[in-house]
Chains A and B, each alone.
Chain A
Amino acid sequence: MMSINPGVASAGSTSGASLRKDGDPASMSSEPNKSPLSPQGGGHGRRAEQVFKSLAVAAAAIIVGSIALIALFLLIRAVPSLGADQVNFFTSTEFNTGDADNLRFGIRDLFMVTVLSSAFALIIAVPIGVGIALFLTRYAPKQLARPFSMLTDLLAAVPSIVYGLWGLLVLAPYLKPIQHFLNDNLGWFFLFADGNVSIAGGGTIFTAGIVLAVMILPIITSVAREVFALTPTAHIEAAQALGATKWEVVRMTVLPYGRSGVIAGSMLGLGRALGETIAVLLILKTSADAGGWSLFDGGFTFASKIASAAAEFSAPLPTGAYIAAGFVLFVLTFVVNALARFVAGGKVNG
């Protein structure tokens, strides 16, 4: 290394001489090439090194610890309320915390609305996200690919409350005819059956799902873009040499190579959709009846239920009911995100 880069070597020897004067011969006697990653300092330096390293380890420990604390404290607050629950927590559709002596809360309906809206969002967003990623990595002109990518990333910069405003005040009226059409013509299918809120009001899972799809699009796109860009050139050139058209190249090399990345990106998007709070809270209309797995139902997701009651968090037992719902949401997103990481076989950025 010294011979390759004589400039560094000579600079090293001159300032090394001045260092030697400071009475720090240990650092010069150790061979830098043998152990470049653990140079030995003097006694004072070693203590500073220890302090710095412990700070870094402590910061990492705080992050690991905070996840454990989140699980712990949510559980601590939720358990007394779960004990006081008069109905089955998992199968009841009630969520009535008005009377602290007679708590009746269950998550069946919350779970249904959460899963249905997120799954619907995912079904819309994944194909479009993959299409965008393919366009940006394989089709767009090289000079335009970067600005175009930034445009799609900008979708992630819009605050969720603004998406909520958009969905509630602007998008919902436009979706009304589509929803009426689906309801009238495909009403025999459970997803498009009559829901427990009126379609004319616009506050259906259908509307919320489309807004959620827009919100998770940038995550799916950016993860898919990353893996598609990593497709080995040799694979692509081999396909081209066999006379494949551009689409065939994509189908035979890029898509199979990026499959795990697309799945991981979708899981990250799913995690984001499951936990989205304010946009869903603004859009979904409430209903007195339990839902029946229709896209035209209303109601609450875990997150929007908690947020809707946030102003009333005072008595510990009713609040614990919402914290219990929050714990379920925490577990759900934990599993989904862990799966995403597992599928990608390592780190995924979203």
Chain B
Amino acid sequence: MTTMTKFDQPIKAPTFRDVSTARKIKNNVATGLFTLCFLIALIPLGWVLGMVIANGFEAILSLDWWQNSQKGILPDQSGGGVYHAIYGTIVQSAVAAVIAVPLGIMAAIYLIEYGTGRFAKVTTFMVDILAGIPSIVAALFVFALWIATLGFPQSSFAVALALVLLMLPVVVRNTEEMLKLVPDELREASYALGIPKWKTIVKVVIPTALPGMISGILLALARVMGETAPVLVLVGYSKSINMNIFDGNMASLPLLIYQELANAEDAGRQRVWGAALTLILLIALLYLAAAGVNKFLMRNR
């Protein structure tokens, strides 16, 4: 009889046991929390963009907004445009790019193609440090060197110099990443043909990496475009257009926003939101261009 009951039960405990309820709950809670974190991050993004679009679209709809400056417009008067500020924003970041891009690309070429030993390590470290420099410190440095020590006047060019410092590490890092992606076989094939190293870099490596480099440069431009600290320190605000980057006050979109915030009138508030939306549109345009360059040029390969 006793042997019979033994047959009812498994001889040993089952190999696989179900996951206990406590562990299941923990697992589900964790999944929920991580998803929640992601959703939380979307709130400010949607909120900020929605706010700027909702408040700013009225101002930018008029043609005047894109074609006129604020010359002769009183603080409580609506109307006028931000043409002068758009010009300033674009010119300042373009001048910065003209200096920062060749410098950054050459530095990245040094790090990837030539750099060995101590100096390369120091350079990588300094690029990291430069990436962490606050924009206000970069602005103060340009002030201390360019304006206080060398005696140049406040100007857009000084702003551009500060933007160079902010743009350089972004360009260097991005170019480095893109150069790393170029397969060594391409370089070796070129060397095998007897092409000198510098020509290999210029004619083989860089063309291969070019789409990624261009889109990286566009993103770097987008990053410095919204910088406010350098324009606050290094150039004054002007209500009318100033084409000269070496002298005189020049408006830019962030500076215009900052100036108009001090204006309590409704017209001022409208200009603030309009300028914020214009700035975001400019940056969005650069992002789209970067994505487009990546997609279009990559497909042609």
Contact = CB atoms under 8 A, between A and B. Distances in A.
Given A159-B283, A303-B134, A329-B137, A32 B37 contact: no
Contact of B134 (A37, A152, A157, A329): A329
B37 A278 contact: no
A307 B198 contact: no
Interface string A220-240: 010000000000000000000
Given A67-B129, A246-B31, A60 B191 contact: no
Interface stretch (B66-74, B77-85, B111-119, B238-246): B111-119
A214 interface: yes
Contacts of A115: none
A148 B45 contact: no
B197 A313 contact: no
Contacts of B131: 337, 350
Contacts of B280: 158-159, 162
A70 interface: yes
Contacts of B222: 157
A245 interface: yes
Contacts of B136: 275, 277, 302-303, 306-307, 326, 329
Given A170-B47, A275-B133, A341-B125, A32 B191 contact: yes
B144 interface: yes
Given A69-B141, A329-B136, A341-B125, A39 B276 contact: no
Contact of A275 (B49, B104, B137, B287): B137
B152 interface: no
A170 B44 CA distance: 11
A252 interface: no
Contacts of A55: 106
B98 interface: no
Most buried by A among B37, B148, B233, B258: B37
Interface string A236-252: 00000001011110100
A329 B137 CA distance: 8
Given A24-B194, A347-B124, A275 B110 contact: no
Given A60-B119, A277-B136, A158 B48 contact: yes
B26 A245 contact: yes
Contacts of A170: 47, 51
Interface string A34-59: 00111101000110110111011111
A278 to B, nearest CB: 4
Contacts of B19: 243, 245
A139 to B, nearest CB: 6
B298 interface: no
A293 interface: no
A8 interface: yes
Interface in B159-183: 165, 168, 172-173
B18 to A, nearest CB: 10
A302 B140 CA distance: 12
B210 interface: no
Nearest to A305: B136
Contact of B129 (A48, A277, A337): A337
Interface in B195-209: 195-199, 201-202
B228 A15 contact: no
Contacts of B110: 56-57, 59-60
Nearest to A15: B193
Interface in A260-277: 268, 271-272, 274-277
Contacts of A140: 38
A154 B213 CA distance: 19
A157 B38 contact: no
Most buried by B among A63, A134, A139: A63
Interface string A180-213: 0000000000000000000000000000000000
Interface string B222-237: 1101111100110010
Given A19-B194, A36-B188, A73-B145, A278 B258 contact: yes
Interface stretch (A83-91, A93-101, A104-112, A316-324): A316-324
A122 interface: no
B127 interface: yes
Contacts of B297: none
Nearest to A215: B44
B196 A155 contact: no
A161 B141 contact: no
A25 to B, nearest CB: 9
A151 interface: yes
Interface of A: 1, 5, 8, 11-12, 15-16, 19, 24, 27-28, 32, 36-39, 41, 45-46, 48-49, 51-53, 55-60, 62-64, 66-67, 69-70, 73-74, 76-77, 127-132, 134-136, 138-140, 148, 151-152, 154-155, 157-163, 165-166, 170, 214, 217, 221, 243, 245-248, 250, 268, 271-272, 274-278, 282, 302-303, 306-307, 310-311, 313, 316, 319, 322-323, 326, 329-330, 333-334, 336-338, 340-341, 347-350
Given A63-B107, A152-B41, 9 more contacts: A36-B187, A51-B198, A59-B106, A67-B130, A159-B283, A245-B26, A268-B132, A326-B137, A341-B125
22 contacts: A48-B199, A59-B106, A60-B111, A67-B129, A76-B149, A131-B34, A132-B38, A136-B38, A154-B45, A159-B254, A161-B226, A165-B52, A165-B276, A246-B30, A271-B134, A272-B134, A275-B136, A307-B136, A310-B232, A323-B143, A330-B133, A341-B128
